[in-house]
Chains A and B, each alone.
Chain A
Amino acid sequence: MITLDHVYILEGLMFAAFAVLSVRDAGNRKRFGNSGFWALLAMSFLFGSQIGDFANGLLVLALVALGGTGALGLGKPHTTTAEQRRSSAERRGDAIFLPALVIPAVAIIGTLTLKDVSLVEGKEVTLISLALGIILALAVAMVWLKPPRLAPLEEGRRLIDTIGWAAVLPQMLAALGAVFALSGVGKAVGTIATTWLPLGHPFAAVATYCIGMALFTAAMGNAFAAFPVMTAAVGVPLIVHKFGGDPVIMCAIGMLSGFCGTLTTPMAANFNIVPAALLELPDRDGVIKAQIPTAIPLLLANIVLMYFLVFRF
């Protein structure tokens, strides 16, 4: 049966190759930093399930030590020049898009068809299908385009170096969320929301719930972490029980209010910080700044929407 572990092994091998190629890259003054960083990540993917929690924690600290102190540079893998790319684009025509479209196509078809196939771990079918799509796309690209044999790894290294330490940020934030949960941060926020805020009017309760969802999501980087806390502290006791609101409408719009917070925070690294790195923006917060003017009016709209709907149905 194909499980996520197989995908992790593949990814571990990829990072191991990045580490080896990085250390041989004389064009990068900080090549040992890059190599070490990707090697640690390779270990995490290959052996993370075997080495135990504490060793994983030490591994993360080593990643922080390298990534947090500017030990990573930009590798200089062999690639094509802008001129070569233009002429290749001319020659290949629109067919160059096909391998790129294989990825979502396989991911989608796989998600829809492999769910009940015993060959694949059912609950992870989306991620496994994505990995299958990537492998197939790479095979198509290699056979058709015939790049040098090391090209996928060298080009992959070129891209991962532009992302740098931000590549582990989403996982780091997920881990921080776990420590927050373990230490009772959620309860503390719930206490503040209920003891310090004036919640005597239905509108105040709705506004507190929606804004609280957005702010708490921004602080945690994840609406899923904010939702149980805010809903248990404000949503269910006040909006549902005290003022008689509809729990379904409250939860649906409450979650989406949280998503407004996601648009505004560097804590949601995989949506906001990683793309800034991927798109080589000089401003780490460039994507957030482009999203805030949508997030704020949408949050206000959610408050109004909830106020008018939640007590009516």
Chain B
Amino acid sequence: MWTLLGIAVVVIGFVIRLNPLLVIAAAALVTGIAGHLGVVQIVSAFGKAFNDSRYVSIVWLVLPVIGVLEREGLQERARTLIGKVHAATTGRLLLVYLFLRQITAAVGLTSFGGHAQMVRPLIAPMAEAAAERRLGTLPDRLRYLIRAHAAGADNVGAFFGEDIFIAIGSVLLIKGFLQQAGIIVAPLQLSLWAIPTAILAFLIHGARLLLLDRKIRRARPGDDA
């Protein structure tokens, strides 16, 4: 049971808002010691796993090209573009993005979207611009709320779309797990049963995005919305 101390360290560390890198290092140490590992063994295990998971950082390769496009006015252009579409509101725009993200992920195209390559340069500026057209300058809190929702739409769309695709990691993990438990299933069955939740996710999150529009309509410039 003492191995659970590491989880406690993580929870407490995040709640009292210590630097997450320190929290994680402490949690790994505590967990390892509670699990009767030596310090060298813990450091090695940590180093190996860090090295093995370098693929999650490949996305940073996109920063130079996004940066160059930003210096040439990418975000400004995204704002202009959305400013011309009169039906566009923040909520509707994010709703469309949520839908596209879910549909593309459902057919295996998880590379459409992403925070560095899509949300920061395009979706967030567009969502802000749509609100600015109504309000002029946005109060800071509302601006940050809109940006957070731009990231949220990307996450919800990706999470609750990708499981519909038969060759995604989570579906294959389930198949492998059940196989070990002596239950043979076809990936397609797993994919089909992901659809009800995907629809509910779209309805729930979509409704919240439209509520965001109402919040924006009620805000006044300079308000602490």
Contacts and interface: CB of A to CB of B under 8 A. Distances in A.
A44 B54 contact: yes
A108 B149 contact: no
B88 interface: no
A207 to B, nearest CB: 16
Contacts of B135: none
Interface residues of B, number: 112
A73 interface: no
B193 A249 contact: yes
B133 interface: no
* Chain A: number of interface residues, binned into ranges: 35 or more
Interface in B180-194: 181, 183, 185, 189-191, 193-194
A120 interface: no
B50 A138 contact: no
A231 B204 CA distance: 26
B177 A231 contact: yes
B151 interface: yes
A290 B145 contact: yes
Interface string B189-210: 1110110110011001100100
Given A53-B48, A89-B80, A279-B119, A179 B31 contact: yes
B87 interface: no
Interface of B: 1, 3-4, 6-7, 10-11, 14, 17, 19-22, 24-25, 27-28, 31-32, 34-35, 37, 40, 42-78, 80-81, 108-113, 115-122, 124, 144-145, 147-152, 154-156, 159-160, 163, 169-170, 173-174, 177-178, 181, 183, 185, 189-191, 193-194, 196-197, 200-201, 204-205, 208
Given A168-B21, A174-B52, 15 more contacts: A48-B54, A61-B43, A68-B19, A103-B117, A160-B60, A174-B49, A179-B32, A180-B31, A191-B1, A240-B183, A247-B181, A271-B155, A275-B120, A279-B150, A280-B147
